[in-house]
Structure 1
């Protein structure tokens, strides 16, 4: 493995020729985001871009989940100590930026549920292949916070503003088939065919003209990168205000207590 891709606790790597597999590997927590994983996500795609031994990237989750979004203990820790929240703001923007600036084509192998930041990670990939039993959505509002880590700029570009606002304002999770019909996924396949389809696409890309592929992707992403810049800055600012309000604490309490939240903000 390249010396670049070392020192990771929550992300694993594997190679097949010039195809690099990047797997979120914390199945005991449903691959939920905590300090370690958030930090690693903020650096991994820059290092993947510089990795001399790969041309195509596959992003997946280990176990039954792709990425379940933020870990509740992590959220509570940042409520209790707001300096921890402030410490993740710059890395949060780097996660989005690094995926949009990654020149190598990246395929999402969507093996399980993707929520919040997990959904953004999946949808920022160039091609999404989903197992037919997965769910995807951005339920930030159900946690009493703004979808500041990608959802507010990404979903409107993928499905249009009316559909995006319905999904972001309700925090509803979509079935794989519904997401496919909206245009979020390239392919939906039975779970036992997921690897075959992902590998077929990866091999096709790996056999292509790499500079032509990379620079075509780069040019295609230019407008999305421009749009993301302003929206992400505003989204992160609004989310920061939410983070210390009653509704976010109530959402964490309700989730851990397995009860409906009682929101109060007006």
Structure 2
């Protein structure tokens, strides 16, 4: 007599494998469809019945991208995103540690202010940021975009990293202090490795935010050689026609650095759970 199928048994064995497979397919299918559309001839993109593959693939759109300014725009986006993540983590980790460990007057109010900053839409801040960039001589520079991006990423990162630091027992640091370690040494060699999951998550969020940034880049950058990839994507849209094949080709290449960055950070995230304890 066969066993009764219960929800618990459904979630184990074959049932769990099937659901996991369906979830993976659902997550990966948009990337697959984006790539397939990028290599389809123009008539096949607009057919009433979509096809999962094309009998006449063409890579001309990718060639056209590399013949233009795509590589320069890629470099600009990488510089902005990498610098934004590095500066965000540098500022936010120090601030998060202070808010998690030190007795600061008005700390609760400061945390509420930081949280409130995340509720402001970017369009509200763009005019003050633009005026600041003009006064500082940062218009039409990558540094200006990086500084403006920090206003969007630092506050959230402080909140995120502080949450991980609060969860790390203070007794671990106190034991290091007893052994003669300074506060900075304890932070660098003990606390930060334990907080790697939070730092890695903050790095991913900051990189994606800077990589996808459009409004600041459009407002601050005027010269063609300084444009970023999100700005370049707008060139495929005009008043009467949208080059969907070009959009999909550019978007496919646009997604690769994000996936690579996440893969690199994911390894550090996994190491964070045990690296410091083993040391």
- TM above 0.5: no
Q: Which one has the bigger strand percentage?
A: 1
Q: Which has the larger radius of gyration?
A: 2
TM-score (norm 1): 0.27
